[in-house]
Copies of this chain bind each other. A is one copy, B any other.
Amino acid sequence: MSLSGIAAEGRVLAAPISADAVLSAERFGARAVCLQRLIRLGLPVPCSVAIGFAAVHRIADGGPLDMAALLAPFGPLPLVSVRPSSGAADWGGPRTILDVGMNDAVRNALARDLGPEAAQARYLNFIRAYAADVARLDPDTIEAPFDAVDPVAVALTAYERATDAPFPQDPAEQLAQVLKSMARAWEGVSARLLRQAQGAPADAGLGLVVQEMATGLGHGESGTGVIRSLDPVTGAAGAVGEYRRQATFGEARRSGAMMPLDGEAGPTLRGEAPALHAELVEMAALCRQKLRDEMEIRFAIADGKLWVIDAIPARRSARAAVAAAVRLAEEGIISKQEAVLRVDPGALPELLHRRVDPAAKRDVILKGIGASPGGATGRLTFSARAALAAEAHEIPCILIRRETTPEDIRGMQAARAIVTERGGMTSHAAVIARGLGLPCIAGASGLRVSTRNKTMTIGGRVFREGDIITVDGTTGEAMAGAIAMQEPSLDGPFATLLDWADGFRDIGVRANADTPAGAAVAHRFAAEGIGLCRTEHMFFEPSRLAVMREMIFTDSPTDRAAALEQLLPMQRQDFMELFRIMAGHPVCIRLFDPPLHEFLPTDREGLTALAESLDLPLSDVIRRVDSITEFNPMLGLRGVRLGVTQPEIYEMQVRAIFEATVEASRIAGAAVVPEIMIPLVSAKREVELIKTRIDGVAAAVRNASGQEFRYRLCVLVETPRAALRAGEIAVHADILSFGTNDLTQMTYGLSRDDAGRFMSSYVSSGVFPEDPFHTLDKEGVGELLMMGASRGRKARPDIILAVCGEHAGNVDTIDFVRKAGFTYVSCSPYRVPVARLAAAHLALRDRLEAVETQDAASA
């Protein structure tokens, strides 16, 4: 084989890896390129040949490749490994196969050198790997009896019997078959789906690296090991790793026990071979410096000589990734910009879970598989419907199911945690819970769930609907009652990285937070304000609920106002608290949104109690409840429609907001500027009417307090018509905030609560490419967003454009709206760090693209 390798049709298909070979990751894969960089650093890499994507593709198609030429660099008795070299480490790839070239002759040679045991063990392993991966035989076929005298002979016979052909002795034939099997495995459907799930493009190629075996066996110090420049869990700096030193029995050598590279107790590489250890540590530091990343280096020592087999970016937890990126930047090895780009925003959520306080006392009631980490406390519910009802009333709940089905998805979203009697790490419940970032225990053995009786029984203890439990999805334990939680903290590197990210991004990030607790999380995660504060939950506390019901049963506006007057001080306190926590950041308060019937009981018991408390005949109560029940509550008398037709609720809320504004401004010594959001608008006149009333209340509060204040009016654009008419609506609003949840429901004519029954089948059969409630539908809903934004801006160039709702924290949504010049996104508090990082990525990528375009233009 010539230096320039095997070529066809003008393209290099395969080439020995040398300092001056022309290799690129796009054609030969990351591993080949990394090996070349190690060689350029002068590190001792065994002879390696890189096979490019084109060659592998040709092999998969049954095309010929000159095996003799490929093997030429490896001498007369070649013994090589074949490793995948795809575009990125986490795109997977076929298993590495070792000791290709092993045959009777090599065995004999090895046996002479290192003893028959070592030779036999390696031959047997190779036969097994070859049989499984190349000949696709069942592993049992090749297994020799425990007490076989010559297990290799048994295996070879078994192989021949199973395949009707002798085990190939020709290294060229072995290599050709190995390459073909690896090439084909890469093109299989499941391999493709798996790597696409990791972000690989549909046409991602596979390269292969053929490398002379460094067996780690020999006569002097020998063994194999791994050294990493960081702790993969914590991300702490250091040279850590393991060394498997060969075991010698007289002349016979074989793999021995594992030892750490360094440490206090027991044997270590450093203790056994301090010079080699020093050489290794120096090499690792060099790699880290020059390859500009924390690396994981596979090495071999043979007869006291160090070989570098391979180096890949060290695998690391999300926490470690953040720590490593920040450290590399702080050491000047990479730029801050690169550090920010090194951390995948999708990896952050696992750092943001609440955890059950490890120090708290636990009354463990069940134990299952910790299928999705984090902790949550809530009331037991036994159906998706019950979970939704609980959510509507802002009651935290835990969903308990025998197992979950796609129909449960909305209920799972509504729950704080999920526990299933059946299933494991890949059950429906586990997969969905991880996707939703919810704690989940699957396969809770010994648990008996009765959906009908709404009970769960475990170890003789019976728990009923409404009982409070705490779930620890990290340990897989559930405890009776509420247990102290630890809020996720932004540790030093995390905070530093996001701080850098904030310097790059060009779209604001706010949080949706309804309660002081939510606001506190938002503030801790450095949200630039609250973009959506839903006020409904404030009316579900028992004392307030009674007032609400009283109000619903009054007929005159005066009586309604009188009933609501009782809620005014409580609401004022709610808002004061939010203003205090957000410390000067804007708070956008959505006025009352749900239909009034949500505040009324539906069961006989509740109705009777209500009749008693209101001192009304039961029949009157039932009639009233019937009269305000709706066919399609989503499309009924709620939001601004309630605000227009029963003005007293909004007037009370607005007064509470303004009185809180005056008081909070006084306490803070600086002006608080509240934002007031009007929900469910479909016509400009609705906005005009409410604005006039708000101005009236503002004037009254200014008069009474003698204090000036400003406010910003926000219209929640969540009906298609509001998006279409955004131009005339924007004239009256300071902010247009697009509520993509409802907008998606109305644009599709599809209720999220009812879509669960068919959404998974719709998505799996490709009717919808994605669930539009998870991934923003850019073609339909997105067009309305863009139309609304451009019409709003045309009518009022200084309009603030925002998007709130569950889509807002997704990278693709942020990408979509920042290109349209939106001012901010508002997402769940725990999503804020993700959004901050993702927004920085998008801005940096745009910057890089611009530079590339400029380079291309000037080239």
B-binding residues in A (CB < 8 A): 385, 388, 407, 452, 619, 626-628, 630-637, 641, 644-645, 680, 682-683, 685-686, 689, 718-721, 724-725, 742, 745-751, 753-755, 757-758, 761-762, 765-768, 777, 779-781, 783-784
Contact, CB under 8 Å: B742 / A783 = no
| Least Cβ–Cβ distance between A611 and chain B, in angstroms | 16
Closest to A646 in B: B758
- Whether the Cβ atoms of B645 and A762 lie closer than 8 Å is yes
Check A754 against B724 for contact (C-beta < 8 Å): no
Q: How far is the CA of A407 from the CA of B631 in the complex (A)?
A: 14
Contact B632 A783 (CB under 8 A): no
- Taking CB atoms, residues of chain B closer than 8 Å to A680 are 749
Task: Return A647 CB to nearest CB of chain B, in Å.
Answer: 11
Whether B725 and A780, one on each chain, are in contact in the complex, defined by CB atoms closer than 8 angstroms, is yes
Tell me the nearest residue of chain B to A410, going by C-beta: B631
Whether A747 and B746, one on each chain, are in contact in the complex, defined by CB atoms closer than 8 angstroms, is yes
A682 to B633, CA, bound (A): 21
Residues of B within 8 A of A755 (CB): 636
Nearest 5 A/B pairs, CB to CB? A635-B751, A636-B754, A719-B749, A721-B780, A632-B751
- Which residues of chain B are within 8 angstroms of A753 by Cβ–Cβ distance? 630-632
Q: Are A631 and B746 in contact (CB under 8 A)?
A: no
- Residue of B whose beta carbon sits closest to that of A640: B767
Q: A632-B632, A757-B637 are in contact. Are A767 and B721 (CB under 8 A)?
A: no
Q: Are B637 and A754 in contact (CB under 8 A)?
A: yes
Write the chain B residue with the least CB distance to A777.
Answer: B721
Residues of B within 8 A of A725 (CB): 779-780
- A10, chain B: closest CB distance, angstroms: 42
Task: For the complex formed, measure the closest distance between the CB of A762 and the CB atoms of chain B, giving whole angstroms.
Answer: 7
B719 with A748: CB separation less than 8 A: yes
Docked complex Cα distance between A751 and B784 (Å): 21
Chain B positions within 8 Å of A724 at CB level: 747, 779-780, 783-784
Residues of B within 8 A of A645 (CB): 758, 761-762
* Residues from chain B with Cβ under 8 Å of A765 in the complex: 644, 689
A-B contacts, 6 listed (Cβ < 8 Å): A628-B757, A636-B750, A682-B750, A683-B767, A721-B780, A746-B747
Chain B residue with Cβ nearest A634: B632
Q: Is the beta-carbon distance between B748 and A682 smaller than 8 angstroms?
A: yes
Copies in the complex: 2
**Which interface residue of A689, A749, A779 has the most chain B CB atoms within 10 A?**
A749
For the complex, what is the distance from the CA of A439 to the CA of B720, rounded to whole Å? Answer: 37
Shortest C-beta distance, A763 to chain B (Å), equals 11
B residues near A779, Cβ cutoff 8 Å? 724-725
Question: Are A766 and B685 closer than 8 Å at their CB atoms?
Answer: yes
Q: A645-B762, A724-B784, A758-B637 are in contact. Are A682 and B749 (CB under 8 A)?
A: yes
Q: Give the chain B neighbours of A781 by CB distance below 8 A.
A: 721
Q: What is the CA–CA distance of A761 and B645 in the complex, to the nearest angstrom?
A: 7
Select from chain B the residue with minimum beta-carbon distance to A767: B685
Complex formed: what's the CA distance from A535 to B572 in Å?
55
Q: In whole angstroms, what is the CA distance A394 to B715 when docked?
A: 41
CB neighbours (8 Å) of A627 from chain B are 407
Q: A685-B768, A749-B682, A751-B636 are known contacts. Are A641 and B758 too (CB-CB below 8 A)?
A: yes
- For A750, what are the chain B residues with a Cβ–Cβ distance below 8 Å? 635-636, 682, 719
Contact of A635 among B632, B689, B721, B783 (CB under 8 A): B632
Residues of B within 8 A of A766 (CB): 685
- Beyond A635-B634, A780-B682, whether A748 also contacts B721 by CB under 8 A is yes
B749 and A683 contact, CB distance less than 8 A: no
A685 vs chain B, min Cβ distance (A)? 5
**Of B637, B641, B742, B746, the contact of A720 (CB 8 Å cutoff):** B746
User: 14 new A-B pairs (CB below 8 Å) besides A388-B631, A724-B779, A724-B783?
Assistant: A631-B633, A632-B634, A633-B754, A635-B750, A636-B757, A645-B762, A682-B748, A683-B768, A685-B768, A689-B767, A720-B720, A720-B749, A724-B784, A746-B747
A686 to B619, CA, bound (A): 47
A625 to chain B, nearest CB (A): 13
Interface centre among A631, A725, A766 (most CB of B within 10 A): A631
Q: How far is the CA of A762 from the CA of B644 in the complex (A)?
A: 8
Least Cβ–Cβ distance between A760 and chain B, in angstroms = 10
From B388, B637, B746, B758, contact of A746 by CB (8 A): B746
Residue from B630, B757, B761 in contact with A751 in the complex, judged by beta carbons closer than 8 Å? B630
CA distance in complex: A758, B780 (Å): 30
B718 and A749 form a contact (CB under 8 A):
yes
CA–CA, A683 to B767, complex, Å? 7
Which residues of chain B have C-beta atoms less than 8 A from A630's C-beta? 751, 753-754
Contact partner of A749 (CB less than 8 A), chosen from B385, B635, B757, is B635
Chain B, Cβ-Cβ closest to A632: B751
* Closest partner residue, chain B, to A783 (CB atom): B724
Chain B residues near A635: list those with CB within 8 A: 632, 634-635, 745, 749-751, 754
With both beta carbons as reference points, the residue of chain B lying nearest to A595 in the complex is identified as B754
A757 to B633, CA, bound (A): 12
CA–CA, A635 to B720, complex, Å? 15
Q: Which residues of the partner chain B approach A637 to less than 8 Å between Cβ atoms?
A: 754, 757-758
| Most B C-beta atoms less than 10 A away, residue of A633, A645, A746, A779 | A746
How far is the CB of A110 from the nearest CB of chain B, in Å? 60
Closest residue of B by beta carbon distance from A686: B767
Residues in B with CB closer than 8 Å to A388 are 631
Complex CA distance for A634 and B779, rounded to whole angstroms: 23
Cα–Cα, bound, A45→B792 (Å): 63
Contact of B631 with A751 in the complex, beta carbons under 8 Å? yes
Report B-chain residues with C-beta under 8 Å of the C-beta of A721: 747-749, 777, 780-781
With a cutoff of 8 Å between Cβ atoms, the chain B residues found around residue A641 in the complex are 758, 762
* Interfacial chain B residues near A385, Cβ < 8 Å: 626
Chain B residues whose CB sits within 8 angstroms of the CB of A634 once the complex forms: 631-632, 635, 749, 751
Q: Which residues of B contact A749 (CB under 8 A)?
A: 634-635, 680, 682, 718-721, 742, 746
Q: Which residues of B contact A742 (CB under 8 A)?
A: 749
- A767 neighbours in B (Cβ, 8 Å): 644, 683, 685-686, 689
Measured between C-beta atoms, what is the minimum distance from A391 to chain B in Å?
Answer: 12
With a CB–CB cut-off of 8 A, which chain B residues contact A631? Answer: 388, 633-634, 751, 753-754
Residues of chain B within 8 A of A719, CB atoms compared: 747-750
